[in-house]
Structure 1
Amino acid sequence: MSTPTTILTPSSLPERVRQITAENIRALQRGYLADQPRAVAALARLRRGAGKQIEQVPDLWGLIDTGALHDPVHEDGRTPREEDLTRAEDAVHVAVTLWSLHQQSRGTGMHQPDRRKNAPAGLGAAVRRLMSNGDIDETILKRLVRAGHAPDLTTLAQRLRDIVLLLRREDITLDYALLAGQLYRWQRPGGRDDVRRAWARSFHAYRPPKDPADGDPADSASDTDVPYDSDTTKDAS
């Protein structure tokens, strides 16, 4: 299927990672929910890459449009350094393939932009929503802690895959653009502590709906109606 064409002015690479992830997923998610054969087939292929390194699944090349990552990120026309480009490609790959697993057999979009107080969709908040009645479930919490202490990106992707399967079972959404930006940051020197702090903050900040009859605020969000907004995702945790 055709992939989105991203036209970006020079910007920071982390911001570009978030935007490219959001654009790729929005296009695929819209097609999948409309039962378009190409999108359905694309997700089936992408799911095979969940928890794997990008070089392990060369048959997925071309399904995710990462062309804009190679564009200049500085006003003087300089392109990203090789190591930063690799981190960015890996972050987008992990986020999109995990989303494809999350979206499998779901009738609503499992990628939803994080709206902080109104509809938090960061990883910590998503894990918190797995816990019934607002009580801390130590078994589930340990999964998040183990993910935060993964020794490398491959292990992190595998541990996130286990969390995503739980989220899919409960129809709990996640902001995969936000996650992609965090995965990029996680790979940079000193970034792991920042990401762990963001996940912990998101976990503790989440508050369940006061009235169960009102449902979960995130359920009313529609990914197809809301464009990517860097202000809502850039610093959200």
Structure 2
Amino acid sequence: RIILTASGGPFREWTADQMRGATIDQALAHPTWQMGRKISIDSATMMNKALEIIEARWLFDCPAEMIEVMIHPQSMIHSMVEMIDGSTIAQLSPPDMRLPIQHALTHPRCLAGKTPTLDLTRASNWTLQPVDRERFPAISLGFEVARVGGSAGAVVNAANEAAVGLFLDGRIRFTDIVTACQTALENHNHETNVTLDRLLELDRWARAEVHQWQARSSRC
């Protein structure tokens, strides 16, 4: 199995009712990571993890059934791989975006970096727990897209970018972001063997669909 970890974002302990009233500033206030506005909102909805599910499925040719997501508020364990012999290999580091960026730029080499080393004496305070998919429906959406493949990933990714933009503009509620993505996925005609040109068309369609959905919703 591949086990992806998520901090849970700023709303890890919030109820669904509380999240419906979340403000932009609250959604941007990530407890452990310093990131840009769009990815901070993705972390709050857990759409970032939904996208990682899709990425893991295709990058590692791993069926969705062999991918799991767990909440790890301390953001020290970033991913784990469960081996067929029963052992588990984990990637550990302090929550600093410079390290994964450096790794991506220098792989397969391992070079000296600026990030601090891990203090393993604090490992006794680390926790892992399942994701509440009722409060974070983006996770279920990510698994659905990973299972069906084809055009679904491009549609959900574009819909999410459009919906996050609408939220940051104050035009939809925080909880509307994932709803908009689900609506776009449901309304598109799924395609399997998709060309790059067709994916770009679907990207534009999904963004327009989200804006049309927002316009319809605002009139209700």
- Would you say same fold, with TM above 0.5? no
TM-score with structure 1 length normalisation? Answer: 0.30
Quick one: higher RCO (CA 8 Å, sep 6+), 1 or 2?
1
Write 1 or 2 for the structure with the bigger share of strand.
2
TM-score with structure 2 length normalisation? Answer: 0.32
Write 1 or 2 for the structure with the bigger share of helix.
1
Larger radius of gyration: 2
